[in-house]
Chains A and B, each alone.
Chain A
Amino acid sequence: MQPIREQPRGFNLFLLPGIKQLIRWKYSRFLFQLPLLILSIFVIIDGFTGRQIAPRNVATASVWLHYRGFVVIALALFGNAFCSACPLMLTRGLSNWLKKLLPRQFTWPKALKNKYFVTFFLLAYFFTYEYFDLWASPWLTAWLAIGYFSTALVIDTLFPSGTYCRYVCPLGNFNFLYSSASPSQITAVDHDVCRSCADKPCLQGRYSAQTKPTKLPLQTNGPQETAFIPLTEIKNNNGNGFFPGCETDLFVPTIQSNMDCTFCFNCVRACPYDNVALSIRPPFWEWLKNPWARRGRLPVMIMGVLLTVYGLMNAIAMIPPYYSYAQFVADSLHTDSELLVLSLFFLGFAVIGLSLSTIFAVLADLAGGKGFKPKIAFMRWGYVTVALGFGFWTAHYLFHFLTGALSIFPIFEHFFAYRGFNIDPNWRMSQFVPSKWLFPLTAGISTLYAFLASFVAIKISLRDFKDRGVLAMWPMLIYILIFAVFGVWILAQPMEMRGTIFQPSF
């Protein structure tokens, strides 16, 4: 267990009227999950049986347009709301039942207990997205949803709860990484209360009742029986029974990063002393604390940099120069294999992205007089790339969201019209803001995060290099400028929405 550390001390959102009571209620998470569960059912039904046109199908529109738009808005303005409302975790009832049929619980292999595996998964997911044009296929999107539910079920049946979220789920890890940009975080209200708290129920869970039963459930993250805490000891009693602790192994008073926090609020419900807060913090707070040096380490930073790189690639794959260049590569190699060209692009982007971020980080360290230590430099300055990446993903996803957010109304009308109801969908309903606002808005967001990244770079250089900080910051500021200009250039290009590099997507 890590030592108790400094935590943000902003306003505790749980103090808003009614929020604490709602969150501490045993079934609050189910309430949050219900809307996305219902949406998933629509996604699967329409994806498999509906009209196979992406803009007219609930599967493609809600997954690739609305979900992604709301994810980045929630991350930027609040926190990891989508993991909090994730319906995949509703397989938990079934997986707990299936667990009982197994001869024993397996342990997740040590070699996979890091973010390399899930980074690979994320890349595979992006590759699949481009190669199979998932965004254009309601049917494949529905399969993807089924795939997520089945994988969550299998992994959490075979391995301890929380394994799927922490080590396997690409969506969750995207959210974990970019919730580093969020303005809220789980904290302990009073660290002294935590110091004197013997059982750490926020981590291990607790069982509460009037009298102690003969058999108690096992701890959330350990082999022993969970702590029994009588109801008389509970501050703001929130009911009888077992309250699980943090399935992703986070200990509340030590948290300095939203990494791995699913906003499930188990800790809030499990804490017998009502000592867990959701504190407001500046959105750059985490990037200045270097928390991944202690949890996650190098693989997390590699994931962060690669996500930034694929954020760029995801957008580049929609502009004409990409197709021209892809054609040039294909002609040069005398191939028409999209698999080959796309693989080369993915590889090329990864190598260039990781190299550039390391080169500029090393230059900054050298300018600051720290010597040539690429890994240390990469870990120190990687947060700057993460900030840039979040800005670009947000700009890109918001472009699509603002272009078509209102289409959710005719799409649902169409869902019923397609099944015989007498409804005439109004397809003119689509755009959220006028087209002419799109570029200023998206370029503005990307630039705003470039400024935030510059602020982070300046603070890191002054923190780690003292007087030489004014020298150390310059390579990073130049890096940010190059990224920002390139990003705005991409956003300024006319879009070309082709499914594949060489042929149409249908």
Chain B
Amino acid sequence: MFRQIVFILLLFTLVACKPPEDKNQANVTNQNSSIKARVEVPENPKLGLQTLSVYLLEDSKALSGASIEITGDMTHAGMVPVIAMAVETETGLYQTKDFEFTMAGDWILTTVIKTPSGEKITLEKKLSVAGN
């Protein structure tokens, strides 16, 4: 029984009083890398197809040849995620062609970048999409 009480007390120390910082919260750069990435979304994004852009730099030079996947999730569990590849349209600039905001509301974009050297960077961006 003593163990059960200790377990419950440990749980309380585990949670402290504020939500944990997300490992992937940066929405501009990954601080520990020579690679800098920026995800750009149109101002006041609307329902429907939208072009999302990712700028990629390595040591301040445009980085070519990366593979980039962007997943859009709504803040409610279970909504079908929108997944699109961003393709390189000019050196260091990658854009989606078929990313569609399927519902108005709060969205979280998770951008997974795999660089030619094999480095994996994950960025997160939160935004609100207006209804029509």
What residues make up the interface of A, taking CB atoms closer than 8 Å to B? 44, 48-49, 51-57, 60-61, 64-65, 94, 97, 133, 135-137, 139-140, 142-143, 146, 320, 400-401, 403-405, 407, 427-428, 430-431, 435, 494-499, 504-506
Contact = CB atoms under 8 A, between A and B. Distances in A.
Nearest to B23: A51
A430 B103 contact: no
Interface string B107-124: 010100000000000001
Contact of B22 (A51, A135, A403, A430): A51
B27 to A, nearest CB: 12
A400 B23 contact: no
Given A48-B15, A146-B11, A427-B71, A407 B103 contact: no
A149 B79 CA distance: 28
Contacts of B106: 136, 497-499, 504-506
Nearest to A61: B77
A137 B108 CA distance: 13
Contacts of A52: 19-20, 22
B81 interface: yes
B19 A137 contact: yes
Contacts of A430: 78-81
Contacts of B85: none
Interface string B19-35: 11011100000000000
A401 B81 CA distance: 14
A62 to B, nearest CB: 8
A140 B22 CA distance: 15
B105 interface: yes
Interface in B49-79: 71, 73-79
B75 A496 contact: no
B91 interface: no
Chain A interface secondary structure, helix, strand, loop or mixed?
A: helix
Contacts of A142: 15
Contacts of B127: 504
B89 interface: no
A327 to B, nearest CB: 12
A506 B126 contact: yes
A246 B75 CA distance: 41
Contact of B1 (A94, A400, A405, A495): A94
A328 B11 CA distance: 44
B11 A44 contact: yes
A212 B37 CA distance: 77
A407 B103 CA distance: 18
A139 B131 CA distance: 28
B132 to A, nearest CB: 8
A371 to B, nearest CB: 48
16 contacts: A53-B73, A54-B75, A54-B76, A55-B76, A55-B79, A64-B78, A133-B75, A143-B15, A146-B15, A401-B78, A404-B79, A498-B105, A499-B106, A504-B126, A505-B106, A506-B108
B113 to A, nearest CB: 15
A94 B77 contact: no
Contacts of A407: 77-78
Given A428-B83, A494-B104, A505-B106, A139 B20 contact: yes
A506 B76 CA distance: 12
Nearest to B110: A53
Nearest to A435: B80
B53 to A, nearest CB: 21
A403 B75 contact: no
Given A139-B19, A140-B19, A499-B105, 15 more contacts: A55-B75, A133-B75, A135-B77, A400-B76, A427-B81, A428-B83, A430-B78, A494-B103, A495-B104, A496-B103, A497-B74, A504-B127, A504-B128, A506-B75, A506-B108
A505 B22 CA distance: 16
> By CB atoms of chain A within 10 A, which of B15, B71, B103, B124 has the most?
B15
Contacts of B44: none
A401 B79 CA distance: 9
A135 B19 contact: no
Contact of B77 (A64, A97, A431, A506): A64
Contacts of A57: 77
Nearest to A142: B15
A131 B110 CA distance: 26
Nearest to A50: B20
A56 to B, nearest CB: 7
A505 B76 CA distance: 10
B6 interface: no
B45 to A, nearest CB: 12
A52 B126 CA distance: 12
B72 to A, nearest CB: 10
B78 A498 contact: no
B75 A136 contact: yes
A48 B14 contact: yes
A94 B4 contact: yes
A270 B64 CA distance: 73
B80 A431 contact: yes
B80 A403 contact: yes
B24 to A, nearest CB: 7
